Structure 1
């Protein structure tokens, strides 16, 4: 797996911050990784809610130096709507932010690196768990 065709979910970044050796090993060989603005928002929320805001924000900012940040546009919104409609019709809803993350992965044809099994409910995205 090369860094050019993957995108990280929030829980993988958190595992990196916790020092998970497997995640460190996988990411250590990549010059650049992709994360979505949704993941960045979730990471910053965690920092704002923590008792050591400055430490966590510094950690996030350091990590961002190795990241390509991917935002949303009209195509992402369309992918989001299609994913959510399909999940609702199957009766398999997943968290709202995760639908946006899945939409970005689908739109850019990226493998989503995540620990969340519920992404398997989303059609037309590839997932991997480190």
Structure 2
């Protein structure tokens, strides 16, 4: 099984506030099965820029990024995105663009999304497998 970490999960890890459950899960699975989307990578870089003290945090971020693979946005993601976005629109569900893209990335590659964001509950109807490793 392959896992896609949502940006909030990566944030918990980088900020040192990951729960014991999250830490234990990450230690139990094969690192080759853990990924982030290019979208999450962009959000991490934005967070560094926004925080202002890039030099202080860049080494920790780079060390973390070296432990996993960053998945490219591809045709499978684009097709999943189009379908999910349209269906959610028809249902009157509003999802932030980055979350929509991350969810579509997981769906497009049949990955389990690890997130602490309940907006992804709306994605289960499209086959998304969602797990929350941060909370009990």
TM-based fold match above 0.5: yes
2:42 equivalent to 1:41: yes
TM-score by length of 1: 0.91
Structure 1: 5+ residue runs without aligned partners? Answer: none
Residue number in structure 2 paired with 1:129: 132
Spell out, residue by residue over 1:79-107, the C-alpha distance to the aligned partner (whole angstroms, 9 max, x if none): 10001001100101111011111111011
Distance in 1 between the 2:90 and 2:99 partners?
A: 17
Higher relative contact order (CA 8 A, sep 6+): 2
Contact 2:4-2:37 within 8 A present in 1 as well? yes
Partner-residue secondary structure (3-state), 1:83: helix
Contact 1:38-1:100 within 8 A present in 2 as well? yes
Residue number in structure 1 paired with 2:4: 7
How many residue pairs are counted as aligned between the two chains? Answer: 127
Distance in 2 between the 1:24 and 1:17 partners?
A: 12
TM-score by length of 2: 0.87
Aligned-residue Cα RMSD (Å) equals 1.3
2:72 equivalent to 1:75: no
Contact 1:31-1:66 within 8 A present in 2 as well? no
Contact 1:34-1:70 within 8 A present in 2 as well? yes
Distance in 1 between the 2:40 and 2:63 partners?
A: 15
Runs of 4 or more, structure 1, over 4 Å off, are none
Structure 2: 5+ residue runs without aligned partners? Answer: none
